[in-house]
Amino acid sequence: MGLRALAVLLTLTLATILYLSRLEDFRIFVPGLAQGALMTLRITAAAAVLAVLAAITAGLLKLYGPAPLRWLAVAYIEVFRGTSALVQLFWLYFVLPGFGITIEAYTAAVIGIGLNIGAYGAEVVRGAVVSVARGQWEATVALNMTRAQALRRIILPQAFAAMIPPWGNLLIELLKTTALVSMITLGDLAFRAQQMNQTTMKTAQIFTLVLLVYLAMSLTVTLGMRLLERRAARGILHARAA
């Protein structure tokens, strides 16, 4: 979808949400859902930061780390990509206490989702770094740069542009995954929806509104990443399209 189409769709979605939230049938759900949406946004933002940090660390370690650290990175990536996000959340929240480590639901949610998406992101980082032309590396050697200098000044800025489109998809995945935290008792959008559904039984109204709110959030993320993509491609001759 083009930028303009996305903007139109987002406007339409927001307009529909605004319109519905004024109707008699929907109005009572607005405060609760707003609270839930706030929790969803908080978890999304915190987990996104953790995911990016984990992805860069694990991706670079898998490529350039010394042997034991490299194995650790590979193990992290395989374990978190190989098991379900929900299983990971349950493990952090219900199983870790059995080993004497008790963490809050919110912390478990951020760590679980952040590390899960970070594992997928690590492969994105690795792929983008590998896709930078060989000649760039050779040029840094010719200029007598150290490997760290070359990575920081030459390779990563170019890899960054190639990373943005796949990161856009991952952030949408992350946002959608946050719905799972309702199952470890956190009061996010999905949780509030279920709660209100049980007390009022106005199922169609609640879930329609919730779907629209998620849609608006996803479209905002997509739109933001597209703009970032444009910005990052500026000044790079051979920026690769997604």
Partner 1 sequence: MWDWAFTLEILPALARAAVITVEVTILGFLIALTLGLALAVCRIALPWTRLPISLLVELIRSTPLLIQIFFLYFVGPSFGLTLDAMTTGVLAVGVHYATYCSEVYRAGFESVPRGQWEASVALNLGRATTLRDVIIPQAIPPVVPALGNYLVALFKETPLLSAIAVLELMQTAKIIGSQTFRYTEPITLVGLFFLAMSLVSAWAIRRVEAGINRRYRR
Q: Which of 65, 49, 77, 16 is nearest to 219 (CA)?
A: 16
Based on CB atoms, which residue is closest to partner 1, 155 or 184?
A: 184
Based on CB atoms, which residue is closest to partner 1, 73 or 132?
A: 73
Based on CB atoms, which residue is closest to partner 1, 55 or 216?
A: 216
The backbone torsions φ and ψ at residue 51, rounded to the nearest 5 degrees and listed phi first, read -60, -45
> CB of 87: closest distance to partner 1 in angstroms?
5
Q: Alpha carbon of 166 to those of 29, 84, 86, 148, 172: distances in Å? A: 35, 20, 22, 25, 10
> CB of 189: closest distance to partner 1 in angstroms?
8
- The structure tokens 């800025």 sit at 157
> CB of 94: closest distance to partner 1 in angstroms?
4
SS3 131: coil
> CB of 215: closest distance to partner 1 in angstroms?
5
Q: Where are the alpha helices (DSSP H) in the chain?
A: 3-22, 24-27, 30-64, 67-82, 85-90, 105-130, 134-142, 147-149, 156-177, 189-200, 203-233
> CB of 227: closest distance to partner 1 in angstroms?
17
Q: Which residues bind partner 1 (CB under 8 A)?
A: 1, 9, 78-79, 81-88, 90-91, 94-95, 98-99, 172, 175-180, 182-183, 190, 193-194, 197, 203-204, 207-208, 210-211, 214-215, 218-219, 222
> CB of 138: closest distance to partner 1 in angstroms?
29
Based on CB atoms, which residue is closest to partner 1, 57 or 194?
A: 194
> CB of 217: closest distance to partner 1 in angstroms?
8
- The structure tokens 């009022």 sit at 200
Report how far residue 160's alpha carbon sits from residue 157's, in angstroms, rounded to the nearest whole number. 5
Please name the amino acid found at residue 167. Answer: W
Report how far residue 99's alpha carbon sits from residue 109's, in angstroms, rounded to the nearest whole number. 18
Based on CB atoms, which residue is closest to partner 1, 57 or 218?
A: 218
Report how far residue 109's alpha carbon sits from residue 114's, in angstroms, rounded to the nearest whole number. 8
| Eight-class DSSP state of 133 | -
Based on CB atoms, which residue is closest to partner 1, 159 or 180?
A: 180
Based on CB atoms, which residue is closest to partner 1, 90 or 160?
A: 90
